[in-house]
Every structure is written in C-alpha cells, then in structure tokens.
Amino acid sequence: MLEFDGKSEGELLDIINSAKSQLSARISEKREQVIAQIKELAASINVSVEIIDATVKTKASRNPQVAPKYRNPANATQT
C-alpha cells in the first residue's frame, strides 16, 4: 500500500493520473479479450456477431426544432 501523508499535491496528482491510465489500459485489454472470446464462441456455432462500441458518441443536435404543443389563440406570441 502506498503512503499518501507525505506526498505533495503534485505527487498525488501524478499517482492519480498514473493509476487512471493503467486502469484504462487494463479495461481496454480485458474488453479485447472478452470480445475475442465472444467471437470464438460465436464462430464455434456458425454465428456471426457485430460488436457495437457504446463509447462512441454520435453528434446530436443541441436544440432540435420542436413544434409547439399549445397555442394561445388570443395572443400568438405565447406559444
């Protein structure tokens, strides 16, 4: 276990960033292993699989145009 009491803020940030990058690498490696296992199992029963990456985000419109649901017939500016 690491001793954190004597560390400066910079050293602690370095430790955190290092841990984050190592964790990210391990997760990525594990994901690749699982995908390979899934594809191997699927191939063994003559099934094809497509892995969709949920981490890739699509571009969405920030303010899509939406038709007003209610109108005030007395005052058209209040929609």
Q: Is the pLDDT of residue 79 over 70?
A: no
Distance CA 6, CA 63 (A): 49
pLDDT at 56: 67
2 found inside a domain: no
Domains contained in the chain, number: 1
To the question of pTM greater than 0.75 for the whole model, the response is: no
pLDDT at 44: 96
Q: Which domain holds residue 39?
A: 8-50
Average pLDDT over the chain, rounded to whole?
86
Q: Are 28 and 21 in contact (CB under 8 A)?
A: no
Which residue, among 31, 30, 48, has the nearest Cα to 40 in the 3D structure?
Answer: 48
The arithmetic mean of pLDDT across residues 29-34, rounded, is: 95
Q: Are 66 and 79 in contact (CB under 8 A)?
A: no
22 found inside a domain: yes
20 found inside a domain: yes
Greater confidence (37 vs 54) lies with 37
25 found inside a domain: yes
> Which helix (H) or strand (E) segment is 17 a member of?
helix 9-44
